[in-house]
Amino acid sequence: MQPPVQQPNQPATNMYHPPQQAMLSGGLFSLHKFLMIGVILILIAGLISVLPDFTGPPATVDYDTSDENYPGNFNQATESYNDFERVMDTLATMIAMTGVGLIGYAFVREAYDEDTTTPALRITLLILGTVMLLQMLGTGFNLSVSL
């Protein structure tokens, strides 16, 4: 009688590292997911950038001009509004850059996918993604800090 044939040990899959097939399949990456997330981020950035406009800058009619503290209070309110506007614009720019980056990445990633139907579509997606990412880096990417 022959001993039972031993099966080769299957490599244990770690729950934190999905198998390579899952990484390459469309489960984790989907053009539609990345496009939707990018567009949503751009829309959120647009909403954040107009938040300071809801209240507007301080107006002189809101302050008592006969008060001796009027110039100081008005200047402090104006400076506070300008700070708020700058912070919201910076936050909106960061969120919009993330959205554009995701859309550009989705185009470049889709161009390298083997399931894309025609070479012309692959080339078009690659060019669109590259142009989006380079445009983002060239004009919208600013790391200066204003004090």
34 within domain boundaries: yes
120 within domain boundaries: yes
Can you give the pTM of this predicted structure?
0.64
19 within domain boundaries: no
Domain that holds residue 128: 30-140
The domain tally of the chain equals 1
14 within domain boundaries: no
Angle among Cα 6, 9, 15 to the nearest 5 degrees reads: 150
63 within domain boundaries: yes
d(CA 106, CA 130): 11
pLDDT at 17 over 80: no
Q: pLDDT of 67-86, one tens digit each?
A: 888 888 888 989 999 999 99
Measured CA to CA in angstroms, residue 8 lies from 17, 18, 132 at distances of 21, 21, 48
d(CA 51, CA 83): 13
Q: Bigger pLDDT: 83 or 30?
A: 83
Q: pLDDT of 92-143, one tens digit each?
A: 988 988 888 888 888 888 777 666 567 777 777 778 878 877 776 676 555 5
Q: pLDDT of 34-69, one tens digit each?
A: 888 888 998 999 899 888 888 888 888 888 888 888
Cβ count within 10 A of residue 101: 19
145 within domain boundaries: no
